[in-house]
Amino acid sequence: MRTTIIHGGPVLDARRGRFRDGLAVVLRDGRVAELLSADALPAGDGDAQLIDVEGRHVLPGLVDAHCHLMSRSGVEADAELVTKSVVDGVLVAGRAIDAGVTTVRDPGCKHRGIYELRREIAAGRVRGPRTFAAGPNVVGSGAPVDWRNVFADGVDEVRRVVRKEVLAGADFVKLVLSHTTGQSRWRTCLRYMTDEEIAVAVSEAHALGVRTGCHCEGLEAARAAVAAGMDVIDHGTWLDEALVERMARQGTVLVPTLWAFSAATHHGYNGTISDAQLADFSERMGDVHRASVQRAITAGVTIAAGTDPIHWVPAQDLLVREAETLAAAGLPTEDVLRAVTINGAIALGRDDELGALEPGMHGDVVVVDGDPTHDLRALARPVLVLKDGEPFVDLLGDRERAARHWEALARPEPLSDRQPEVWLERA
């Protein structure tokens, strides 16, 4: 029986979003066995491996609740993309766990290769985070070419394709409900699925025992999704007070990907909007989305952090950037810490086994340099990353190597020469 005991630093109580002093985390055969008082540590000559992390903070493995490992759903799945996405998937998965992300909710891949990547990671042949994948998204045939994954028109066809995707291996079903682009200067939000189609998709997925999520922009689509009992609203760029209050009552999770949708990110970081587009995007997308998130915070909606990464600019600290952006929007620090841990597990319906350091949970542990309650950037300074009790990153004894690792996490390095999604250039 393999036992590891991590001690010497405050341990995050993820459900409260607060660190507790004087505890040691006991991992046994890949699971959290117990939390001991630090005064009750066994003698050093026992069978347990004792890891002293004095001066650092201990958290459960981070959860990215919106992370596309292989390819985003909104691109064309030609042979070149499939080939590149296989390489990207292996690289992105490794980079994610290097950053302390031990679990991802992958809400859409243009092809089903994501299931093979999921399997290889689970088998230990590819280095990466535990992956829950939606695979190809369900969308109406009125969607533009870059949003076409699995076509479905009418309630009977929607029911059929939901069954098809679950049988193909989807851990949850993801719908594409609506979208707005720079072609309309972000004035028009197009609906791709009707209220009835959304309702039957959610009902059928739940009947098959899987959860649902949706790419959702605009208020009307969000209302239909929440009314249908959607488990997760991804993005949710326009939510009013009545809707967020209903989301809070129902337990609907919001994964806002706020950093990825901000004007500063699209203009200054990704370069996907031009100088001429900046004012319109800020007014009609970035500012509106931020206000929606602030309403959700006030209403007490469960918010999970997701990055919606773009592979050609794959800095590894994107989850920390999202955490910082949520904090800047008014999410209290304890809720930010929940957003990057237990709330991601709630989005997956897996908070009984992931997202917290509690007996019986997976032995996923991240030890960071610094105190995230005073400096969220500490989350981008991992010194130890364990998944199921196995070390994937161990920099405890080498400060110089740790500094190089942290620098690399924050440095964007393109993984391929695939062209970015450009707002005004859609086929």
Query: End of a domain among 300, 331, 348?
Result: 348
In the block, tokens 């695979």 appear at 135
212 and 72, same structural domain?
A: yes
The H or E element containing residue 348 is: helix 342-348
- Establish if 277 belongs to a structural domain: yes
Query: End of a domain among 320, 348, 376?
Result: 348
360 and 302, same structural domain?
A: no
> pLDDT tens digits for 330-349?
999 999 999 999 999 999 99
374 and 333, same structural domain?
A: no
Regions of the chain short of the pLDDT cut 50 = 419-427
- Establish if 175 belongs to a structural domain: yes
- Establish if 426 belongs to a structural domain: no
In the block, tokens 């542990």 appear at 365
- Establish if 88 belongs to a structural domain: yes
- Domain of residue 127 covers 62-348
CATH number at 114 reads: 3.20.20.140
136 and 11, same structural domain?
A: no
List Cβ neighbours of 230 (8 Å cut-off, separation of 6 or more). 198, 202, 212, 213, 214, 252
268 and 312, same structural domain?
A: yes
CATH number at 372 reads: 2.30.40.10
Query: End of a domain among 326, 348, 370?
Result: 348
In the block, tokens 């995050």 appear at 12
Residue type for position 355: G
- Establish if 424 belongs to a structural domain: no
390 and 375, same structural domain?
A: yes
- Establish if 418 belongs to a structural domain: no
Number of domains the chain contains: 2
- Establish if 423 belongs to a structural domain: no
226 and 202, same structural domain?
A: yes
pLDDT at 418: 54
70 and 162, same structural domain?
A: yes
270 and 197, same structural domain?
A: yes
396 and 283, same structural domain?
A: no
Count of Cβ atoms closer than 10 Å to residue 348 Cβ: 26
- Establish if 414 belongs to a structural domain: no
175 and 38, same structural domain?
A: no
**393: which strand partners?**
385
Buried b vs exposed e over 156-187: b needs ≥16 C-beta within 10 Å?
A: ebbbebbeebbeeebbbbbbbbbbbbbeebbe
55 and 192, same structural domain?
A: no
For Cα atoms 43, 46, 48, give the angle at the middle one, nearest 5 degrees: 105
| pTM score over 0.85 | yes
How many residues belong to the chain? 427
List Cβ neighbours of 28 (8 Å cut-off, separation of 6 or more). 1, 2, 3, 4, 363, 389
Distance in Å from the first CA to the final CA of the chain:
57
Distance of alpha carbon 225 from the chain centroid? 20
Do 121 and 130 form a contact (C-beta atoms < 8 A)?
yes
